[in-house]
Amino acid sequence: MGNEVSVILNIKKNRILNDRDSNFNNQEYNKILSSKTGFPVVDCEFEEEKLHHEFLLNIWSSNFFSPVESILKRGNAKVLDIGCGFGTWIYDMAKNYTLSNFIGIDIIIPKDAILSNVSFVQADVLEGLQYSDCSFDYIHVRDLLWYITTKDARSKLFPDLLRILKPGGWIESLEYDTEIMNPGPNTQLLIDICNLFQYSCNFIVHLV
């Protein structure tokens, strides 16, 4: 599976990076998005996204945990990936569940989809999702809280996701917790040093 996905994604990478009209290569467009969202738009590293996806797949041995496999295999399921990036997760899923339809949405998207059951939509998810109520069987979110605030996620994004989710559908969100649980003695020492350093910096700033 990994080799086939790599081939698909490398084709996609070449199409994006070699296309001067692609939004990934449009610096003026990136500046507009940056000023509009308040966050810098950083050029996405394809290899980093691919390795990150394979890393998580190796850990969890699955692309999802929600009980949706039977729905995906049956076909005609509608899946939405929020913050799709290069589409690494989507292409892996779409290749394995060819009878279902996958839509990726992000503020910057690839220009073309290379699988017939994949499509991309360019949008800022915080401005409202332009889908009818009860549209999707499964909604996937991963690593999004690095780019939006928890407040916006709670007040804007997730209420909208619940609106467009079909009755009995699933929303799956995989995010990192920055708190280290049950640290050993060496890790705790490192945490204490970091906390001390942060306190010292704050103290120096206040003195200045």
Q: What is the pLDDT of residues 100-109, one digit of tens each?
A: 999 999 988 8
Domains of the chain, by residue range, sit at 2-174, 183-208
The pLDDT of residue 45 is: 67
pTM of the model: 0.68
Tell whether the model's pLDDT for residue 2 goes beyond 50. no
Confidence of residue 79 (pLDDT cuts 50, 70, 90): very high
Encoded tokens for 7: 């081939």
Res. 117: pLDDT tops 80:
yes
Closest alpha carbon to 117 in 173, 76, 164, 146? 76
pLDDT single digits (tens) 19-57: 444 444 444 444 444 444 444 444 446 777 888 888 888
First to last CA, the chain: 57
Distance CA 205, CA 88 (A): 42
Task: For residue 65, count CB atoms less than 10 angstroms from its CB and return exposed for 0-12, middle for 13-18, buried for 19 or more.
Answer: exposed
| pLDDT at residue number 26 | 45
Between 68-82, 93-107, 186-200, the lowest mean confidence (pLDDT) is in 186-200
Check whether 12 has a pLDDT greater than 70. no
CATH topology of domain 2-174: Rossmann fold (3.40.50)
